[in-house]
């Protein structure tokens, strides 16, 4: 870690102010010490006193200053003057922007109905409660987010099982790091993991790849083929049942559907498991022995690599079933119930955020986009599955979406994303609110400038009942504003009949906190963290009181699914193999998106020093495959799918298994998502997620290096 500057001798007028990094997941958001001089941030480093990150900051966090001053920051409201996508804009005033957008949104509402306007949020989450309410109060159910590919599938898997979210527990005897590479994607977890290992916790890694965490900490590393985790979990379950190593008392009291589940898993013998997953049967049996020996067990939760397969949600259910049959849910050392109660944080206190978002939900409006195609999603979420938006808009139909109001839309996150350009062309109105003039913003009719976390006030919750009203460290650049102010001010111009939304963010927060003991005026007057009075969760409460599922138990057979045979989904955590259209034509399994330390989706590829660490997308492959293709480091490979192909620099690495290829997404050039199809064969019918991590392709060697 770089040495921190405590004093700058000879420098005057430098003030150290504290803020938060909002470049990655809201579950992390580390503390920043910003060195400010003459109203400008001149340096950023980790804030030692931040109760969560304690001075740590990753590669991405260290780029906050560059992020703030990126050359393509949008500084003023912009109106398109050229053709859509041409990128020609003129500067207008906020007054003009709001007036025109309000007129156009109301025109779509009058002509087609309010439910023909979709509301979307990219990866950012802090303003989502306001955006959801805006959509609902305007009259549309079609509020959707980037979580159409992230986090929610895992939550849905738990909703089908316990009716509530869950979180891992490091105070356990055995942790299974199931698709977990914290060193790259969640560094704050690795310190506690190291401590737990030091106190004797056993750690099994389930990951096709070798990772820094597997080398350093794993007592056992299972390397299944991509997307076959369900088969592995069901095999382990079968072995535990055969060896009578399940917790009969716990199952009897708290678990529903055990007999059916037991009958189903009996198919998955260790030999079958090996055949389906590629993990040697003897290694599967080693894992079984470790589970038997452990008094308590927990499994890491996962937003992307497990769900990003056509059997993703079911694979998730299968692995979490192991916790149910071994009695490791809501017991000391087991998986813990999580309550995401404010700004997608499991903060340890309850607010009325959910009510705030849904109390104006327009019941009689058309169902949100994707409800017909992905009914479980709609049933559990009541919002839009954004992967279904292009098909909806491009359909020639009175009932399709006509206008899109977005914050931070990045069309490159979606598979087959050339379709999005057709979407942008076809819409009557497309507004995008972003920090930068992104490739997606360039297609908009209006681009509205928002500001970064370092330029805004924000109410932030952290686990441990902590609240922090973050203050700006510099004035917002140009005429940029907070996302939440843009939402509330636009709602006023439109004339949305919602006093609370129209009264602004701070009031809305007070509304969400109204039944708590928290005095938000006091929190907002405090410069720093405030500990909220709330009774911490008592382990076992849910077990005793019952779960919010149809049976009140932990369900191995999901009654929500069983009660809806028309959905055509399985109530048991069944297994379906990853899909390949033609295994001779496409012999490689393609995993697009496994995280790299210096990039986060589209947002750091345009930050020069972050980009310099991985300047172009590359294909990581096993050296044996490279030999067969006749390529080595420095050469290219041509990666081809059914809908296109690109050449990538090849990186031979033993961390990758034979037959697999890894390419990171989000790059503008050679955008891997643009050549991944989104079709029924290879999306998850439960969640609607594309199989980004078990796509298929052909690879040809291209000798460029000598
Ligand atoms: N640096 C960085 N950090 C990030 C992000 C980023 O883009 N960059 N993105 C953030 C976001 S939005 C998310 S959702 C999280 C995701 O964070 P993670 O869930 O950690 O995501 P990955 O790094 O993609 O995957 C973790 C591990 O899963 C393995 N894996 C891939 N496919 C499979 C599979 O089918 N089965 C099994 N068992 N393992 C598999 C990979 O080899 C990898 O080592 O990261 C967040 N943090
Ligand atoms: N192939 C492949 N594709 C994937 C994935 C994968 O693993 N593989 N992962 C999926 C997952 S897990 C995720 S989470 C998504 C990523 O989700 P995306 O939404 O694509 O994430 P970003 O690229 O970070 O883009 C977010 C946009 O928000 C803008 N932005 C940043 N801060 C703010 C702000 O404060 N306000 C506003 N209004 N805008 C802001 C950024 O400039 C950017 O344009 O990608 C998904 N796509
Ligand atoms: Mo994500």
pLDDT digits (tens, 9 = 90+) for 648-693: 999 999 999 999 999 999 999 999 999 999 888 999 999 999 999 9
Hey, which residues does 662 pair with through a beta bridge? 591, 620
pLDDT in the model for residue 345: 84
Angstrom CA distances, 543 to 106, 162, 332, 651, stand at 49, 10, 12, 49
pLDDT digits (tens, 9 = 90+) for 318-333: 999 999 999 999 999 9
Q: Please report how many Cα atoms fall inside a 13 Å half-sphere around the Cα of residue 62, on the Cβ side.
A: 14
Q: How many CB atoms lie within 10 A of CB 40?
A: 15
DSSP 8-state secondary structure symbol assigned to residue 217: H
Closest CA to 459 of 498, 505, 491: 505
Apex 636 CA angle, 632 and 639, nearest 5 = 120
Using the structure block, give the residue that is written with the tokens 């859509």.
84
Global pTM reads 0.97
Residue nearest atom 28 of ligand 1, based on CA coordinates: 179
pLDDT in the model for residue 3: 54
- List all residues 6 or more positions away from 553 whose beta carbon is below 8 Å from its beta carbon: 254, 255, 256, 546, 547
Residue nearest atom 3 of ligand 1, based on CA coordinates: 185
Measured in angstroms, how far is the CA atom of residue 641 from the centroid of ligand 3? Answer: 24
Measured in angstroms, how far is the CA atom of residue 288 from the centroid of ligand 3? Answer: 31
* pLDDT higher than threshold 80 for residue 12: no
* pLDDT higher than threshold 90 for residue 10: no
* pLDDT higher than threshold 80 for residue 706: no
| Cβ 122 under 6 angstroms from ligand 2 | yes
Hey, which residues does 91 pair with through a beta bridge? 78
Which ligand gives the minimal distance to the CA of 211? 1
Pocket test for ligand 2, best of 25, 72, 123 (most atoms within 8 A of CB): 123
The stretch 512-527 carries a mean pLDDT of: 93
Q: Which atom of ligand 2 is nearest to the CA of 123?
A: 19
Per-residue pLDDT band at 580 (split at 50, 70, 90):
very high
- Whether the CB-CB separation of 165 and 140 falls below 8 Å is answered with no
Per-residue pLDDT band at 535 (split at 50, 70, 90):
confident
Residue nearest atom 46 of ligand 2, based on CA coordinates: 413
Judging by DSSP bridges, how do beta strands 644-652 and 403-407 pair with one another? unpaired
Tokens for 356, please give them: 């705030």
Measured in angstroms, how far is the CA atom of residue 640 from the centroid of ligand 1? Answer: 23
Measured in angstroms, how far is the CA atom of residue 673 from the centroid of ligand 3? Answer: 15
What mean pLDDT, rounded, does the chain reach?
95
Transcribe 395-439 into DSSP letters.
S--TTS--EEEEES--GGGSTTTHHHHHHHHH-SEEEEEESB--T
| Cβ 146 under 6 angstroms from ligand 2 | yes
| Cβ 483 under 6 angstroms from ligand 2 | yes
Pocket test for ligand 1, best of 179, 212, 213, 620 (most atoms within 8 A of CB): 179
pLDDT in the model for residue 371: 97
Transcribe 57-73 into DSSP letters.
--TTGGGHHHHHT-TTB
The stretch 541-557 carries a mean pLDDT of: 97
Which ligand gives the minimal distance to the CA of 185? 1
- List all residues 6 or more positions away from 322 whose beta carbon is below 8 Å from its beta carbon: 233, 236, 237, 240, 291, 297, 299, 328
- List all residues 6 or more positions away from 329 whose beta carbon is below 8 Å from its beta carbon: 162, 166, 254, 323, 335, 543, 554
Q: Which H or E run contains 629?
A: helix 623-629
* pLDDT higher than threshold 80 for residue 4: no
| Cβ 28 under 6 angstroms from ligand 1 | no
| Cβ 73 under 6 angstroms from ligand 2 | no
pLDDT digits (tens, 9 = 90+) for 30-56: 999 999 999 999 999 999 999 999 999
Angle at which helices 152-161 and 312-325 pack, to 10 degrees? 50
Distance CA 65, CA 53 (A): 18
Rg (CA), the chain: 25
pLDDT in the model for residue 1: 45
Distance CA 77, CA 98 (A): 9
Distance CA 243, CA 257 (A): 19
* pLDDT higher than threshold 80 for residue 2: no
| Cβ 77 under 6 angstroms from ligand 1 | no
- Whether the CB-CB separation of 141 and 384 falls below 8 Å is answered with yes
| Cβ 149 under 6 angstroms from ligand 2 | yes
Residue nearest atom 17 of ligand 2, based on CA coordinates: 123
Per-residue pLDDT band at 222 (split at 50, 70, 90):
very high
Q: Which atom of ligand 1 is nearest to the CA of 600?
A: 7
* pLDDT higher than threshold 70 for residue 283: yes
Distance CA 38, CA 474 (A): 9
The stretch 464-473 carries a mean pLDDT of: 95
| Cβ 206 under 6 angstroms from ligand 2 | no
């Amino acid at each position: 870690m770089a040495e921190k500057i405590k004093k700058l001798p000879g420098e005057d007028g430098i003030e150290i102010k504290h803020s938060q990094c909002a470049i990655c997941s809201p579950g992390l958001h580390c503390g920043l010490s910003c060195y400010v001089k003459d109203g400008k941030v001149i340096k950023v480093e980790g804030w030692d006193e931040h109760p969560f990150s304690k001075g740590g900051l990753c590669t991405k966090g260290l780029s906050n200053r560059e992020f703030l001053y990126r050359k393509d920051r949008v500084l003023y409201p912009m109106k398109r003057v050229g053709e859509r996508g041409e990128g020609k804009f003129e500067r207008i005033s906020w007054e003009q922007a709001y007036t025109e957008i309000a007129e156009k949104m109301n025109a779509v509402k009058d002509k087609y109905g309010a439910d023909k306007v979709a509301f979307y949020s990219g990866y950012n989450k802090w303003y989502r409660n306001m955006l959801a309410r805006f959509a609902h109060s305007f009259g549309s159910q079609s509020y959707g987010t980037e979580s159409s590919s992230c986090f929610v599938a895992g939550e849905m898997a738990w909703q089908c099982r316990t009716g509530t979210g869950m979180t891992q527990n490091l105070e356990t005897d055995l942790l299974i790091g199931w698709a977990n590479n914290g060193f790259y994607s969640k560094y704050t977890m690795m310190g506690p993991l190291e401590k737990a290992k030091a106190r004797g916790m056993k750690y099994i890694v389930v990951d096709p790849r070798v990772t820094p965490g597997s080398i350093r900490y794993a007592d056992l590393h299972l390397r299944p083929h991509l997307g076959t985790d369900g088969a592995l979990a069901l095999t382990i379950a079968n072995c535990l049942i055969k060896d009578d190593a399940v917790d009969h008392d716990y199952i009897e009291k708290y678990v529903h559907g055990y007999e059916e589940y037991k009958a189903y898993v009996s198919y998955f013998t260790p030999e079958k498991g090996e055949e389906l997953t590629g993990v040697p049967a003897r290694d599967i049996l080693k894992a079984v022995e470790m589970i038997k020996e452990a008094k308590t067990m927990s499994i890491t939760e996962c937003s992307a690599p497990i769900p990003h397969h056509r059997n993703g949600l079911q694979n998730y259910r299968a692995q979490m079933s192991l916790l149910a049959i071994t009695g490791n849910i809501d017991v000391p050392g087991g998986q813990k119930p999580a309550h995401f109660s404010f700004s997608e944080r499991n903060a340890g206190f309850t607010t009325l955020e959910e009510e705030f978002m849904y109390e104006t939900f327009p019941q009689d409006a058309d169902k949100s986009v994707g409800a017909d195609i992905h009914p479980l999603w709609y049933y559990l979420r009541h919002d839009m599955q954004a992967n279904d938006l292009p098909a909806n808009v491009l359909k020639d139909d009175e009932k399709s979406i006509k206008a899109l109001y977005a914050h931070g839309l990045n069309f490159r996150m979606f598979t087959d994303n050339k379709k999005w350009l057709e979407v942008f062309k076809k819409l009557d109105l497309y507004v995008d609110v972003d920090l930068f003039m992104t490739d997606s913003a360039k297609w908009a009719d209006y681009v509205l400038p928002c500001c970064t976390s370092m330029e805004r006030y924000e109410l932030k919750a952290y686990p441990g009942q902590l609240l922090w009203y973050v203050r700006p460290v510099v004035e917002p650049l140009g005429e940029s504003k907070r996302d939440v102010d843009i939402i509330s001010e636009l709602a006023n111009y439109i004339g949305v009949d919602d006093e609370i939304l129209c009264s602004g963010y701070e009031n809305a927060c007070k509304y969400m906190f109204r039944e708590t003991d928290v005095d938000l005026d006091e929190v907002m007057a405090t410069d720093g963290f405030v500990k909220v009075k709330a009774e911490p969760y008592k382990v076992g409460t849910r077990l005793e009181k019952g779960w919010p599922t149809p049976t009140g138990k932990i369900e191995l057979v999901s009654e929500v699914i069983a009660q809806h045979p028309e959905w055509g989904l399985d109530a048991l955590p069944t297994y379906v193999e990853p899909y390949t259209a033609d295994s001779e034509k496409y012999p490689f399994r393609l995993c697009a998106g496994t995280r790299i330390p210096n990039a986060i989706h589209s947002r750091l590829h345009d930050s020069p020093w972050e980009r310099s660490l991985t300047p172009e997308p590359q294909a990581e492959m096993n050296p044996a495959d490279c030999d067969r293709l006749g390529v080595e480091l420095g050469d290219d490979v041509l990666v081809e799918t059914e809908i296109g192909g690109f050449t990538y620099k090849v990186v031979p690495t033993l961390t990758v298994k034979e037959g697999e290829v890894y390419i990171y997404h989000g790059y503008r050039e050679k955008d891997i998502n643009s050549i991944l199809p989104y079709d029924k064969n290879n999306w998850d019918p439960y969640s609607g997620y594309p199989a980004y991590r078990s796509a298929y392709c052909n690879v040809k060697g291209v000798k460029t290096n000598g």
